[in-house]
Amino acid sequence: MARKTGWGETLLGLAILAALAGVGTAVYFEQFRPHPAAYSADKPDYLPPPAPRPAAAARPSRVNPPEGMTALGPSEYFDPDTLYEKIDGRAELYLPAGFRSLECRRLGIPGDEDSVVETFLYDMGSPRSAYSVFSQQQREDAEPRDFTRYAYLAENALFFCHGSYYLEIIAGTAAASAREALRKAAAQVMADLPAEPADLPELARLPEAHRLAGHPRLYRTDGLGFAPLTDLFVADYQIGEFQLSGFVCARGSEAEAAKLAQAYQQFIMDDGAMLLPPIPELPDARVLDFYGTWQVLFTRGPYFAGVHQAGDRLSAEQLALLLDRQLSEAAP
Amino acid sequence: MSRPPLDPERREFLARGLKAAAALAATGLAGHALGWRTGRADREEVHDWPVPDFSQPAADPRLAIVTGPDRTTNLRKAMEALGGWARFVKPGDGVLLKVNAAFASPATLGATTHPDLVAEAVAQCLRAGASRVVVTDHPIHDQASCFEWSGIGAAARRAGAELWVPREDDFAPVTLPGGRLLRHWPFLKGPFKGIRRLIGLTPVKDHYRSGASLTLKNWYGLLGGRRSVFHQDIHTLIAELAQLVRPTLVILDGTTTMIRNGPTGGSLADLKATDTLVVGTDPVAVDAFGVTLLGREASDLPHLARAAAAGAGTASYELLNPVRIQAGAS
């Protein structure tokens, strides 16, 4: 016959079960309240530091001093997890565009403080991504440079793309020796990097007439604030007294382009845009009034194109017709 | 066909099982209720380091706006207008200057606090009788290079300040009571030892994420840990910092303003001569004016309204009757 347990044993058993249940319950509910630090792989500084990164010497530098200049230290390397350590909030521009790594190194001519330049070599993973970050941060008064397809010189710095790489070479001054150092450093880094075709066919779909100086911008994500609008090229135009933008993006097929155009139209209509009568010469284009600015949307084959934020209807129509002509000429 | 009756052992087993399950549920619920009532945030408030309040009782004038091309002259004029350094720094005080040394870039690029401004502030604090002046910031990467390339380290040492380059053991967790993000987060406590006055010195900059980097954003540099997680909710974070850090004075340098491509810039073309320096005891008001140097309005920075609503200052800077001065070159 089975032995009957005493009250003492029963209470002890219940107490143990209760303790276990308490722990389990606490763990269950705490998991819903993670600390922000828990989102990251790193630890707060007051905890043991993470393992040191591989020594810089273990990685081959792609930024080397040209003849007559010396490196002022080894290269520094950053990946998507550490990019913000070097460029803080600006990392938010690079990361969505496909950033892979950054190498930084200072070079200079011995004895000449003005000649010190810092090279930022961003590996963006593709020529498209490199162009995207290049085009979104152009400087005013930039002087175009043709040593590579996408490049410009500011007073104290050179900005350019080379295949999948976006480069910034920055001096602290605009002195003549600084500008010479920029030129030499750029030539060296280009010689050391592999050549890579960087053709972006959509650029040729944006008409040149009335276009403002500078390179058209490429948004790899969230074009015009609409998440599905990826790989969107935007150029600024001046027609009459109005400044406006024209845009184009390519899709895999005519049907995909049409679907995207419809979705974007719905997106802005949900935000208050109102349909207006069409342009007689472009009857399939949608014209919309968006809080006092004119938008035009249409598709040509696999391209979705349009006019954004025109100050008046006339300039919007004019740019839409230019875009239509450019895209029609490009049609196979 | 009817079921056979339960035998006594089986009945006892079921009864015990039910009692155990009831005990488990009751204990769990009681534990959860107790834990909720004395929740983690409360416990953190008790044990985390309470950041001292360095603000002074409100007294006019609270805001000075000086225009002129020389930042050192502008600072002198602004402090005269506010009643002199002696109003804010008493003999024997330890003073902490929180600068922006976030990047290892030369002062000419405007990404960091200008060394001339640091030198002037240090010298004036010491002249007012400060027992020591500590200059600090917490750049995430290669701190020593940031202080040296920006010129801040050399300027601070030359003027007689102690440069505090943070070490790992300088950080202690802090919690903003009622805060959502600043909970048990590592904060640069080390340089605060023996400090009675806190002064922020920072340049006016565009910022890709927060819209502008001004005096409130400058406190971001006091955080440790993997603080980049806050970029996703930067306005809430800045508003919480405004409540957590109550300075004696803030100095906003808009002599040159980084009007685009901030916070790093890189090109001289990113800078614009705006010839203005703002000093005040209300950081929200200082920033509300400062953002206008970027051609924007206070309403463009959601953190200003949130900080003001939380009682950290006023975004209606004109209500403070700012003293406006036109200063000449040095």
Residue length, chain A? 332
Tell whether B237 is covered by a domain.
yes
* Residue A172 Cα to chain centre, angstroms: 25
Q: Which of A36, A45, A137 sits opposite B168 (nearest CB)?
A: A45
If contacts are CB pairs under 8 Å, which of residues 259-318 in chain A contact chain B?
A: none
CB burial of B158-167 (b: ≥16 within 10 Å; e: otherwise) equals ebebebbbbe
Same domain, B26 and B61: no
Task: Give the residue-averaged pLDDT of A275-288.
Answer: 96
Q: How far is CA A217 from CA A28, A228, A235, B132, B269, in A?
A: 48, 17, 6, 51, 19
ipTM exceeding 0.85, yes/no:
no
Integer Cα distance of A299 and A255 in angstroms: 10
User: Please, are residues A103 and A179 in contact by the beta-carbon 8 Å criterion?
Assistant: no
Q: Which of A18, A33, A35 sits opposite B23 (nearest CB)?
A: A18
Work out the percent of chain A whose per-residue pLDDT is above 90: 74
Tell whether B46 is covered by a domain.
no
CB burial of A70-107 (b: ≥16 within 10 Å; e: otherwise) equals eeeeebbbbeeebbbbbbbbbbbbbeebbbbbbbbbbb
DSSP B222: G
Torsions phi, psi of B115, nearest 5?
Answer: -60, -30
* Domain count within chain B: 2
DSSP B246: B
If contacts are CB pairs under 8 Å, which of residues 63-82 in chain A contact chain B?
A: 76, 82
Task: Give the residue-averaged pLDDT of B52-72.
Answer: 94
Query: Which residue is closest to A39 within chain B, CA to CA?
Result: B229
Per-residue confidence (pLDDT) for residue A299, from 0 to 100: 97
Integer Cα distance of B278 and B74 in angstroms: 9
Per-residue confidence (pLDDT) for residue A203, from 0 to 100: 96
Torsions phi, psi of A71, nearest 5?
Answer: -80, 135
Integer Cα distance of B240 and B309 in angstroms: 11
Query: Which residue is closest to B102 within chain A, CA to CA?
Result: A88
Q: Whose CA is closest to A286, among A302, A297, A270? A: A297
Is the per-residue pLDDT at A213 higher than 80? yes
Tell whether B44 is covered by a domain.
no
Taking residue B18's Cβ as centre, other Cβ atoms within 10 Å add up to 10
The counts of H helices and E strands in chain B are: 10, 11
Directed axis angle between helix B115-127 and helix B71-81, to 10°?
40
Same domain, B27 and B62: no
In tens, the pLDDT along B180-189 reads 999 999 999 9
Query: Which residue is closest to B183 within chain A, CA to CA?
Result: A35
Same domain, B61 and B86: yes
Chain B residues in contact with A214 (beta carbon < 8 A): none
Integer Cα distance of B211 and B260 in angstroms: 10
Put simply, whether B22 touches A (Cβ < 8 Å) is: no
Work out the percent of chain B whose per-residue pLDDT is above 70: 92
Chain A residues in contact with B40 (beta carbon < 8 A): 33
Task: Give the residue-averaged pLDDT of B234-244.
Answer: 98
Query: Which residue is closest to B220 within chain A, CA to CA?
Result: A88
Same domain, B24 and B65: no
Torsions phi, psi of B89, nearest 5?
Answer: -125, 120
B16 class by beta-carbon count within 10 Å (0-12 exposed, 13-18 middle, 19+ buried) = middle
Task: Give the residue-averaged pLDDT of A264-268.
Answer: 97
Put simply, whether A6 touches B (Cβ < 8 Å) is: no
Q: Whose CA is closest to A69, among A183, A184, A169? A: A184
Same domain, B208 and B238: yes
Mutate to test the interface with A, among B226, B238, B259 (most CBs of A within 10 A): B226
User: Please, are residues B164 and B135 in contact by the beta-carbon 8 Å criterion?
Assistant: yes
Closest CA–CA distance from residue A20 to any residue of chain B (Å): 8
Per-residue confidence (pLDDT) for residue A3, from 0 to 100: 62
Mutate to test the interface with A, among B40, B237, B268 (most CBs of A within 10 A): B268
Q: What is the pTM of this model?
A: 0.82
In tens, the pLDDT along A78-88 reads 999 999 999 99
Closest CA–CA distance from residue A99 to any residue of chain B (Å): 16
Same domain, B4 and B141: no
Closest CA–CA distance from residue B61 to any residue of chain A (Å): 34
Tell whether B248 is covered by a domain.
yes
If contacts are CB pairs under 8 Å, which of residues 224-263 in chain B contact chain A?
A: 224-226, 228-231, 234, 260-263
Closest CA–CA distance from residue B209 to any residue of chain A (Å): 6
Task: Give the residue-averaged pLDDT of B207-213.
Answer: 95
Q: Which of A17, A26, A35 sits opposite B184 (nearest CB)?
A: A35
Please judge whether A89 and B169 are an interchain contact, meaning their C-beta atoms are less than 8 angstroms apart.
Answer: no
In tens, the pLDDT along B87-145 reads 999 999 999 999 999 999 999 999 999 999 999 999 999 999 999 999 999 998 899 99
Please judge whether A89 and B23 are an interchain contact, meaning their C-beta atoms are less than 8 angstroms apart.
Answer: no
Same domain, B102 and B245: yes
Please judge whether A2 and B9 are an interchain contact, meaning their C-beta atoms are less than 8 angstroms apart.
Answer: yes
Tell whether B45 is covered by a domain.
no
> The domain containing residue B13 runs over which residues?
1-37
Q: Whose CA is closest to B222, among B286, B164, B308, B283? A: B164
Same domain, B33 and B142: no
B132 class by beta-carbon count within 10 Å (0-12 exposed, 13-18 middle, 19+ buried) = middle
Same domain, B196 and B294: yes
In tens, the pLDDT along B7-51 reads 667 777 777 778 877 877 777 677 666 655 545 555 556 679 999
Per-residue confidence (pLDDT) for residue B95, from 0 to 100: 98
Please judge whether B109 and A89 are an interchain contact, meaning their C-beta atoms are less than 8 angstroms apart.
Answer: no
Is the per-residue pLDDT at B242 higher than 90? yes
In tens, the pLDDT along A159-173 reads 999 999 999 999 999
Q: Which of A42, A141, A172 sits opposite B226 (nearest CB)?
A: A42
Tell whether B196 is covered by a domain.
yes
Q: Give the pLDDT band (50/70/90) at residue A15.
A: confident
Taking one residue from A and the other from B, the number of pairs with CB-CB distance under 8 angstroms is 147
Torsions phi, psi of A246, nearest 5?
Answer: -115, 145
Cis peptide before B50 (omega within 30 of 0): no
Put simply, whether B17 touches A (Cβ < 8 Å) is: no
Same domain, B223 and B303: yes
Q: Whose CA is closest to A106, among A150, A61, A145? A: A61
Chain B residues in contact with A113 (beta carbon < 8 A): none
Integer Cα distance of A69 and A97 in angstroms: 33
If contacts are CB pairs under 8 Å, which of residues 79-118 in chain B contact chain A?
A: 102-103, 105-106, 108-109
Same domain, B74 and B203: yes
Closest CA–CA distance from residue B47 to any residue of chain A (Å): 15
Put simply, whether A12 touches B (Cβ < 8 Å) is: no
Torsions phi, psi of B140, nearest 5?
Answer: -70, -40
CATH of the domain at B152: 3.40.50.11440
Same domain, B193 and B65: yes
Query: Which residue is closest to A157 within chain B, CA to CA?
Result: B267
Tell whether B47 is covered by a domain.
no
Taking residue A52's Cβ as centre, other Cβ atoms within 10 Å add up to 6
Chain A residues in contact with B29 (beta carbon < 8 A): 25
User: Please, are residues A149 and A198 in contact by the beta-carbon 8 Å criterion?
Assistant: yes
Is the per-residue pLDDT at A57 higher than 60? no
Mutate to test the interface with B, among A32, A39, A46 (most CBs of B within 10 A): A46
Q: Whose CA is closest to B291, among B180, B181, B207, B223? A: B207
Tell whether B114 is covered by a domain.
yes
Q: What's the mean pLDDT when you consider all of chain B?
A: 92
Edge-to-edge strands, sheet with A242-250: A217-219, A232-239, A242-250, A303-310, A293-300, A286-290, A274-276
Integer Cα distance of B172 and B181 in angstroms: 16
3-state secondary structure B176-217: CCCCCCCCCEEEECHHHCCCCEEEEEEEEEEECCCEEECHHH
